[in-house]
Amino acid sequence: MIVKKMQALGEKRSVIREIFEYGNARRKEIGAENVFDFSLGNPSVPAPDAVGEALIKMLQESDSVSLHGYTSAPGDLGVRASIAEYLNKTYNVGAKPSDLYMTVGAAASLSACLSAVAGAGEEVVVFAPFFPEYRVFTEQTGASLRIVPADETNFEINFDALADALSEKTAAVIINSPNNPSGAVISEASIIRLAEILSAAEEKYGHVIYLIADEPYRELVYDDIAVPYVTKYYDDTLVCYSFSKSLSLPGERIGYVLVSPTAKEHDAVYAAICGAGRALGYVCAPSLFQKLLPHCLGMVSDLATYKLNRDLLYEGLSSSGFTLKKPDGAFYLFMKSPEADANAFCERAKKYELLLVPGDDFACPGYVRIAYCVTTEQIRRSLPAFAALAKEYSL
Ligand code: PLP
């Protein structure tokens, strides 16, 4: 029998996808250059040249059977050793290959971690605004989401509301820094405070509470902003990393989970992540792209373009009268809608061929997300349209 819950998930397209499909139709009608599509978080900057060069070399020089063969279920040991060495050199993590589980991107990392540590009747705490798929990944485990409302002053952590959200049911807390959709980076002081609160909650409720650090945008930061490495502050941390954004490889589906070497139930939780990967059918992440990683660790696609886009857009929108905070990282800008209903605002923006995403899906109504991983030319050409839209609201 068809599982209705899954059918419903498959039939309901995400709002972002709906807008993107609308953009495709408009591109056909009026030409791609006349549509200002800011809907998708698909990197617009190519992967570093070294990625293509390494792939060609591997294909030319390696034995194809071993290159394309299955790796061990949690990932190739040599690849995991290289990643551990890189993390230790860069963040002083103390990681070993046996702390790492290779996955098909951050989505699979999150799904495996949540399946490993959360179950029926338990809760996973998330901070608005958050990536909408957290709900899907959490609910497939039988657990439910507990949403902490946004701190609209800086989109960091709303500590006042966090106290109410934690309970004996809390299995895990997810943070995402740099953040999709706000672009906010959680400061070291906030991570320290969060770690203290979670440690006290572990003590009070007598069980481990996992801090899941969703980090596909770790390297996408501007103006020398530091992104603290969370395992240093909280022992029971699971890092969900992906190369989708840092290396502009979203379609290749490659990432990993790092179980903090200091996690109290380290071996059991690592085994549970391997088990969840097995149950979900995620074992043995793509072999070619696993083996590419040792050649590319620490490389990042050209950040200068994203920074230029951010600066142009921020200046343009601010001078048109919109209310927004300059994002520190990722490639999203989260702007206050000039009318309370962000859906109505996004509909009105379509008149100017501006495709924006309402914040409602990110659990933050009254805001819109603008993905600036587009060409700089698109940003420049869209600014008069934003100015005309602002005029409609007398900003
Ligand atoms: N987490 C966040 C916050 C994201 O924005 C995304 C993708 O956009 C993901 C996870 C999933 O990333 P991946 O492509 O590596 O599965």
- Ligand 1 midpoint to CA 205 (Å): 31
Cα–Cα dist 227/187, whole Å: 7
- Residue keyed to tokens 């100015």: 387
The answer to whether residues 206 and 123 touch, using CB atoms and an 8 Å cutoff, is: no
Question: Would you say the CB of residue 382 lies under 6 angstroms from ligand 1?
Answer: no
Question: Would you say the CB of residue 176 lies under 6 angstroms from ligand 1?
Answer: yes
The closest of 290, 117, 260 to 195, measured between CA atoms, is 260
Q: Digits of tens for pLDDT over the chain (395 positions)?
A: 999 999 999 998 788 989 989 999 999 999 999 999 999 999 999 999 999 999 999 999 989 898 999 999 999 999 999 999 999 999 999 999 999 999 999 999 999 999 999 999 999 999 999 999 999 999 999 999 999 999 999 999 999 999 999 999 999 999 999 999 999 999 999 999 999 999 999 999 999 999 999 999 999 999 989 999 999 999 999 999 999 999 999 999 999 999 999 999 999 999 999 999 999 999 999 999 999 999 999 999 999 999 999 999 999 999 999 999 999 999 999 999 999 999 999 999 999 999 999 999 999 999 999 999 999 999 999 999 999 999 999 98
One-letter amino acid for residue 103 of the chain: T
Cα–Cα dist 384/395, whole Å: 14
- Ligand 1 midpoint to CA 389 (Å): 30
H or E stretch at 382: helix 376-392
Residue 161: both structure tokens together: 């509301």
Provide the 10 A C-beta neighbour count for residue 31.
9
Cα–Cα dist 344/33, whole Å: 24
What is the DSSP code string of 93-107?
----GGGEEEESHHH
Nearest atom in ligand 1 to 105's CA: 15
Tell me which residue has its CA closest to atom 2 in ligand 1: 131
Question: Would you say the CB of residue 242 lies under 6 angstroms from ligand 1?
Answer: yes
Structure pTM? Answer: 0.97
